[in-house]
Amino acid sequence: MTGQNRPPTESADGIIAFPPSTERRLRVALRQLDQALAEQREAIAAFRTQLASLSGAVAGLGESAIELRERLGDTAQEAARAKSAAAQLQNTANAMPG
């Protein structure tokens, strides 16, 4: 049977529920669609906010990686200078009469 040809049904409370009309079902469906679209807009806005946050975090990570590379380069130069100074001290110590 279609929605308009169904007989009324009685609920547990004894209230007779008439089948919804096609127009009423359409209105309900449109309200549900509007609600779903509103929820989707909210979800997309939240997703965009999270993407912006992620973009900022990735940019910060990139800057940190550049800074780390520079510090590692500085540390390598300092280690090379220390090694050279240690070699000079060793040569001086070896040249001293013992």
Q: Which tokens sit at 3?
A: 């929605």
Residue 18 has a pLDDT of 72
Query: CA–CA separation, 53 vs 7, rounded Å?
Result: 56
Choose the weakest-confidence range: 5-19, 21-35, 78-92. 5-19
Instruction: Return the SS3 of 95.
Output: helix
* Domain ranges for the chain: 9-90
Provide the 8-state DSSP code for 1.
-
Backbone angles phi, psi at 88, to 5 degrees: -65, -40
pLDDT tier, 29 (very low <50, low <70, confident <90, very high otherwise): very high
pTM: 0.52
